Amino acid sequence: MRRRDCLFTLGSASLAAGFLPRQASAQTFPERPVSLVNGYPAGGSTEVSARLVSDGMMRRLGGSRVIVENRPGASGTVAAEWVRRQPADGYTLLLSESSSFAIWPSMHQNGTKYAPLTDFDWIGTVCTAPMVLIVSPDFPAKTVAEAVEVLRSPRSEKLDYGTSGAGSIPHIACEMLRHAIGSGNASRHVPYRGGAASVLAVSKGEVGWAVASLGSAAGLIQGGLVRPLAVTSPKRFPTIPDVPTFVEAGLPTMELDIYYLVQAPAGLPPAILKMLNEACAATLADQTARERFVTAGMAAWEGPNTPDSTRAIVERELKRFKEIGERTGIQIMG
């Protein structure tokens, strides 16, 4: 063989070998457990949805474990920033909700260190969840109209409200409600470590009211320890059919569902992105899984579920919360 031919053959072999690792990883993925990161405290709706989707994805990824890893902090943005820095190999995913992928990037005074549309690949849409306006057992209102009158009244400790944290979507929802009814500065914000803690605070009378995810509030609602007045979903939720929507109560600007999405560091091999999306979508097509979501206060996603459709949700919600901030003057500080 001539030297030129020999060099060409060796060069071609080297070039082909350079593609082998990625091809092999896509063909054999997953070879080890996949981490699904939750950026919120244990016991909240995000962790519940993460565990529901991880169970289904595990069955559809050849039995490989999908482990939920809690990394709470700053309304999910700590986890998002950490996931952004991980290898784009499909082994580190993030179950995010509206606060981290839309609210903080568009409403925080300093934005976020990550750009949702360029720093992540969007794998699939998991579910939506309504929020619910709840009041303490001795709160002097049994309807939204009565609550509005109370919230407009002079300052008292019963007007203080609790949330799952500064800059969380329940916090924004509470501020939107105050803006919608013109309650002024009467209410004081009391942040807690997670939705479950804020709901418990309402039940104990530490604060008078909250807007919390239904998943966080469902248990205490069923136990009669907090009183639900309205839900933020477009229609009434099946587990609390007697609770009206905010639209029915005359406050249409309070229609506001939480979105839960799966994302990964940008640059996933296309075959792995496709595999993860199919596992996520197949999980949500399972009737048993869908029923478990409803029981947990969430609605499994029924619309188109591709990486492109999920990215479109992110684009839309970023635009929406930017507009809300501009219209209401609400801004996340600190």
Span 197-251, pLDDT tens digits: 999 999 999 999 999 999 999 999 999 999 999 999 999 999 999 999 999 999 9
Nearest CA to 276 among 68, 125, 116? 125
Residue 66 lies in a domain: yes
What's the chain's average pLDDT? 90
CB atoms within 10 A of CB 73: 15
Whole-number pLDDT of residue 152: 86
Decide if 262 contacts 48 (C-beta within 8 A). no
What does each C-alpha distance from 54 to 143, 195, 221 come to in angstroms? 38, 21, 27
Q: Which two tokens stand for residue 288?
A: 């048993």
Does pLDDT of 94 surpass 50? Answer: yes
CATH of the domain at 109: 3.40.190.150
Show the CA angle centred on residue 234, arms to residues 45 and 97, nearest 5°.
30
Same domain, 237 and 139: yes
Same domain, 82 and 191: no
Separation CA 20–CA 249 (nearest Å): 60
Same domain, 199 and 303: no
Same domain, 87 and 165: no
Whole-number pLDDT of residue 62: 86
Beta bridge partners, 35, equal 67, 92
Nearest CA to 262 among 58, 49, 2, 3? 49
Separation CA 279–CA 83 (nearest Å): 20
Picking from 197, 230, 254, the residue at the C-terminal end of a domain is 254
Does pLDDT of 157 surpass 90? Answer: no
CB atoms within 10 A of CB 231: 28
- Domain with 314, as residue range(s), is 31-128+258-328
Same domain, 176 and 215: yes
Whole-number pLDDT of residue 17: 45
Total count of residues recorded for the chain = 334
Picking from 202, 232, 254, the residue at the C-terminal end of a domain is 254
Residue 289 lies in a domain: yes
Decide if 205 contacts 119 (C-beta within 8 A). no
Same domain, 190 and 275: no
Q: What is the pLDDT of residues 162-211, one digit of tens each?
A: 999 889 999 999 999 999 998 766 678 999 998 899 999 999 999 999 99
Same domain, 221 and 314: no
Task: Please write down the HEC assignment for all residues of 204-246.
Answer: HCCCCEEEEEHHHHHHHHHCCCCEEEEECCCCCCCCCCCCCEC
Same domain, 119 and 231: no
The β-bridge relationship of strands 131-135 and 120-129 is unpaired
Same domain, 123 and 138: no
Q: Give how many domains the chain has, as a whole number.
A: 2
Separation CA 72–CA 300 (nearest Å): 23
Q: What is the pLDDT of residues 272-298, one digit of tens each?
A: 999 999 999 999 988 999 999 999 999
Separation CA 271–CA 85 (nearest Å): 21
Q: Which two tokens stand for residue 158?
A: 């019963």
Q: What is the pLDDT of residues 7-35, one digit of tens each?
A: 334 344 444 444 444 443 667 899 999 99
